[in-house]
């Protein structure tokens, strides 16, 4: 898909990967709608975009149906169409499963699974106005390689990957493509909050700007998925073919963290 001149909505655009995705999209000539709950964070992202385009900020909570309806109404009024929906807003949650409260699990599933499915459904009429259009779902390496101490979070990203495949099969013939992106650990507010846990898994974090370049380059090529360059792709294949080999590797890795 050629990105220049196209219209994209990025959820969770007030920080981290979402902000970087908005900035990179703007560099590639797109007009952006930014969504998130914090209006001040959206305004800070808006200030980083190409001011010659009619970019807009839509403060909204994607887990609330009335807020999603407000997003649809605003995009319909301003653009009358949508070329790319980026479902990026998410909660990153880690820790022992015994400590997880119902409310935290419900928030995780509502934000990472229910909201992107419902928002995609709500925006389909606008995505179908001028095909080809595309839905970009921001998953995680944990959506392929589930980790101990991230059991609920891993489950949400598996669900998002499944949704992405089904959506592609359901709407591909009508011109709505799907790209599932699986970043690895990336330096964001969410990663900062889980610094010790993430340090046990990886010695280095990716920069959001580099992740955004990989994702938009994949969208330009109409790729169905985008994984980080390097050894991760091998582990994804290993997980699918020989999950018990990955079991022992990740258990050893996290046992070190628990012991340490
Ligand atoms: N960082 C990593 O290591 C990593 C790795 C792989 C995948 N990811 C994925 O990347 C995505 C972005 O995460 P991040 O690391 O960039 O974290 P982040 O900086 O915390 O960004 C998450 C964004 O989502 C927004 N958000 C959360 N709940 C929302 C809601 N109910 N409605 C609207 N917006 C909401 C937040 O803004 P408000 O609080 O203002 O609403 C925030 O801007 C997530 O889907 C995450 O799972 C992250």
User: Does residue 82's CB lie within 6 angstroms of at least one atom of ligand 1?
Assistant: no
Q: Which atom of ligand 1 is nearest to the CA of 17?
A: 16
Is-contact 116 108, C-beta < 8 A?
no
User: Does residue 16's CB lie within 6 angstroms of at least one atom of ligand 1?
Assistant: yes
User: Does residue 185's CB lie within 6 angstroms of at least one atom of ligand 1?
Assistant: yes
Q: Which atom of ligand 1 is nearest to the CA of 189?
A: 19
SS3 136: strand
Strand partners of residue 87: 137
| pLDDT for the residue 260 | 56
| pLDDT for the residue 19 | 98
Domains within the chain, CATH numbers bracketed: 7-230 (3.40.50.720)
With 0-12 CB in 10 A as exposed, 13-18 as middle and 19+ as buried, what is 253? middle
Q: Splitting the chain (260 residues) into consecutive groups of 10 residues, what average pLDDT does each group show?
A: 98 98 98 98 98 98 98 98 98 93 97 98 98 98 94 98 98 97 94 84 90 98 95 90 89 71
- Which of 7, 147, 150, 153 is catalytic? The answer is 153
Is the full-model pTM beyond 0.85? yes
| pLDDT for the residue 254 | 74
| pLDDT for the residue 248 | 86
With 0-12 CB in 10 A as exposed, 13-18 as middle and 19+ as buried, what is 48? middle
DSSP state of 186: B
Distances, alpha carbon 181 to alpha carbons 47, 137, 155, 227, in Å = 26, 6, 16, 6
């Amino acid at each position: 898909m050629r990105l220049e001149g196209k219209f994209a909505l990025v959820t969770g655009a007030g920080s981290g990967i979402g902000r970087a995705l908005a900035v990179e999209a703007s560099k590639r000539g797109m007009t952006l709608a930014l969504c998130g709950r914090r209006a001040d964070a959206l305004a800070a992202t808006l200030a980083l975009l190409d001011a010659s385009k009619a970019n807009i900020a839509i403060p909204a909570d994607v887990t609330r149906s009335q807020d999603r309806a407000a997003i649809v109404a605003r995009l319909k009024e301003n653009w009358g169409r949508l070329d790319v929906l980026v479902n990026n807003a998410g909660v990153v949650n880690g820790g022992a499963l015994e400590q997880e409260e119902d409310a935290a699990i419900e928030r995780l599933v509502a934000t990472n699974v229910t909201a992107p499915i419902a928002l995609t459904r709500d925006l389909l009429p606008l995505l179908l106005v001028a095909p080809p259009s595309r839905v970009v779902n921001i998953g995680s390496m944990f959506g392929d390689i589930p980790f101990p101490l991230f059991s609920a979070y891993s489950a949400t990203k598996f669900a998002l990957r499944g949704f992405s495949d089904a959506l592609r099969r359901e709407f591909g013939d009508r011109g709505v493509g799907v790209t599932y992106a699986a970043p690895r650990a990336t330096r964001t507010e969410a990663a900062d909050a889980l610094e010790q846990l993430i340090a046990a898994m990886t010695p280095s974090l990716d920069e959001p700007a580099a992740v955004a370049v990989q994702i938009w380059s994949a969208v330009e090529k109409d790729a169905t998925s985008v994984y980080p360059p390097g050894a991760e792709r091998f582990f994804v294949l290993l997980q699918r073919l020989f999950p018990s080999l990955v079991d022992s590797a990740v258990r050893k890795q996290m046992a070190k963290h628990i012991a340490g």
